[in-house]
Structure 1
Amino acid sequence: MNVLLSIGFVLTWSSGFIGAKLGAGSADAVTVLMWRFLPLAAVLVLLAATVGRASWRGLTARDLGRQAVVGALSQSGYLLTVYHAIQLGVSSGTTALIDGTQPLVAGALAGPLLGQYVSRTQWVGLALGLTGVAVVTAGDAAAGTGAPWWAYLVPFLGMLSLVAATFLDRRTRTPVAPLAAMTVHCVTSAVVFSVLALALGAAAPVAETSFWAAVGWLVVLSTFGGYGLYWLILRRGGVTRVNTLMFLMAPVTALWGAAMFGEPFGPQTVLGLAIGLGAVVVVHRGRAGADAGADSGADPGVHPEADPGVDPGGDPGADPGAKVTPAVSGRPAGQVRSGR
């Protein structure tokens, strides 16, 4: 059963990138995102107003405002850049891999921003991860996808938006129940994308089967399927297991994109993905070594509570060595959902 749950989770979470590709062929990114989040926000508001009333107890306007900003960064900013990059011609696999550097970048920034220890091994992992992205990106561009060179910078903006949401969420001291947080995030995204779509004259849904198929794909598979299995596996196996599965998203998405859309998947792509997975192993060992040093007292320079982990929410990307620390905003510290 656990194996089947893990496989289902990897497939449904990776489906977010594939769904973005499906939607890119029929409508503007803001149109797809608007119609993805409007029904989702309506369902969550209904749930929050009926069976989830207890989730809102004790929350102030400031708490809700902070969650709205977290949602705008981790969902609106992140997803808009992902969808836009894919519409510009960046392959879904490359976009997923760039997104997967999130925990590495957050780990590097954890020291100066949160005062947390980052080991030399983890810095090596960051360098490896960025190298893997460079290799895959170069192979993608050489394959003649038609994407301009600057299009490959767009997913990095989304990844940085997720990192910013993570650090903002880490500073939140008031626990927020998952249902309340997700409702605020999705309502915020529905408003943001609706305003953008109306301003750009792209609010009207496209009268094509492919458009509604993409919207249904994203709502059912990516959001309810991906997030439902995420929480189920998190409760059964813990954050470390979920985070480890996150790093399978990039290779699965690359294979899926190659099979479904004919996206480039040559030796250079394989090499870049292998380097990226190697970076995960290095960072994992660096985290384990830091924890061991802290527990044994052999290395006084290691902070015992160091945890540069980043949200899986976001899609592929969380430190596989992250520890379960006291909950912040209703989830293990260092996790922000991106609303895939």
Structure 2
Amino acid sequence: MNVLLSAAFVVTWSSGFIGAKLGAGSADAVTVLMWRFLPPAAVLVAWAAATASWRGLTARALGRQVVIGALSQSGYLLTVYYAIQLGVSSGTTALIDGTQPLVAGALAGPLLGQYVSRTQWLGLALGLGGVVVVTAADAAAGTDAPWWAYGVPFLGMLALVAATFLDRRGCPAVTPRVALTVHCATSAVVFTALALALGAAAPPAEASFWAAVGWLVVLPTFGGYGLYWLILRRGGVTRVNTLMFLMAPVTTLWGAAMFGEPFGAQTVLGLAAGLAAVVVVHRGAAPAGAGVTRASDRPARRARTGR
């Protein structure tokens, strides 16, 4: 996997937690999310109408992508924003997000036939330890958030995992550009409907709100989500999810730079553990073609072998 591509993904994805904090100070979560997705959805749909990239896309494949978008963007982001609005810190939210590789690794074998090696499990455990170290002090300090608020981002993490596996089991896979277009359009519809129902569709006049929206459109939407699906196509479930271990320490770096949040030895140690986890997981991966297949490939294989 290209190192620069992976680094860009980590930076742009983690920027979403910071953008959520920027937006939470000026508007409700659904208001921010509505205006985050309306502009990119309009641009992407207009681009799709002017290109031939949609040829061959069946109604079934389109419906699958709508469901994937509802899980990976609408469900996932609503829980992240809502948790931060309730008072859960961005670092703790990123920590909960950081458990995703363990869940994905446990399910990749039975669902996709992409089994995790012992070396990769060691790397996953190392990465989990790193994100725990980074956010332990933050969690122990306590916030005004109710106890149940910490379960909200966990639900979002499960939604993203479900979307990832649904995408991997799809046949045929659509291009990342088409997927991003459908996902953004789906999220625009979902969040606009929610905002209208809650009477929260009108954007505030503050410049800080539009600055947050611009941040969220450019970095985590076009950058983070676009790169997520691109790297997933190229590297598989375990590899792309291992990069999630870097989100908590990188988010802490963002917070220190933009909001003056504390940054000390724990962050350095956690970041080092996350980087080591990525290296271990990548080195422990099976060689290409060595028993790692997509579930959608199995029927054809059985037809060829007679089994």
Check conservation: 1:82, 1:95, Cα contact below 8 A. Answer: yes
Give the alignment of 1:303-322 within 5 angstroms.
Answer: 304-305=291-292
Give the alignment of 1:1-340 within 5 angstroms.
Answer: 10-50=10-50, 52=51, 54-226=52-224, 230=227, 239=235, 243=240, 248-287=246-285, 290-291=286-287, 304-305=291-292
1:146 partner SS: coil
| TM-aligned CA distance change 1:283 to 1:152, over 3 Å | farther
| TM-aligned CA distance change 1:74 to 1:285, over 3 Å | same
User: Which residue identity is paired with 1:67?
Assistant: Q
Residues in 2 aligned to 1:218 and 1:147: alpha-carbon distance in whole angstroms = 24
Check conservation: 2:246, 2:271, Cα contact below 8 A. Answer: no
Residues in 2 aligned to 1:144 and 1:130: alpha-carbon distance in whole angstroms = 21
TM superposition shift of 1:121? 3.0
2:56 partner SS: coil
User: Relative contact order, CA 8 A, sep 6+: which one is greater?
Assistant: 2
| TM-aligned CA distance change 1:307 to 1:255, over 3 Å | farther
TM superposition shift of 1:126? 3.6
TM superposition shift of 1:21? 0.8
Check conservation: 1:90, 1:151, Cα contact below 8 A. Answer: yes
TM superposition shift of 1:109? 1.0
Residues in 1 aligned to 2:6 and 2:163: alpha-carbon distance in whole angstroms = 26
Check conservation: 2:101, 2:244, Cα contact below 8 A. Answer: no
When the two structures are aligned, how many residues end up with a matched partner?
A: 290
User: Which residue identity is paired with 1:95?
Assistant: T
- Indicate the percent of aligned positions where both proteins have the same amino acid: 80
Residues in 2 aligned to 1:163 and 1:245: alpha-carbon distance in whole angstroms = 14
TM superposition shift of 1:172? 0.8
Residues in 2 aligned to 1:245 and 1:258: alpha-carbon distance in whole angstroms = 21
- TM-score, length basis structure 2: 0.80
- TM-score, length basis structure 1: 0.73
Residues in 2 aligned to 1:164 and 1:5: alpha-carbon distance in whole angstroms = 24
> For 1:60-86, what per-residue CA distance to the aligned partner results, in whole angstroms no more than 9, with x for missing partners?
222111110000011111111111222
Check conservation: 1:44, 1:183, Cα contact below 8 A. Answer: yes
TM superposition shift of 1:256? 1.2
TM superposition shift of 1:270? 4.5
Check conservation: 1:81, 1:157, Cα contact below 8 A. Answer: yes
For structure 1, the 5+ residue unaligned runs are: 296-303, 309-324, 327-340
**Higher mean displacement: 73-82 or 110-119:** 110-119
Q: CA RMSD in A?
A: 3.3
User: Which residue identity is paired with 1:254?
Assistant: T
Q: Which structure has more helix as a fraction of its residues?
A: 2
User: Which residue identity is paired with 2:185?
Assistant: V
TM superposition shift of 1:227? 5.8
Check conservation: 1:105, 1:126, Cα contact below 8 A. Answer: no
User: Which residue identity is paired with 1:291?
Assistant: P
> 1:319 corresponds to which residue?
none
Check conservation: 1:56, 1:177, Cα contact below 8 A. Answer: no
> 2:301 corresponds to which residue?
none
> 1:338 corresponds to which residue?
none
TM superposition shift of 1:25? 0.8
TM superposition shift of 1:55? 1.6
For structure 2, the 5+ residue unaligned runs are: 298-307
TM superposition shift of 1:149? 3.3
**Higher mean displacement: 11-20 or 164-173:** 11-20
Residues in 1 aligned to 2:169 and 2:5: alpha-carbon distance in whole angstroms = 32
| TM-aligned CA distance change 1:285 to 1:180, over 3 Å | closer
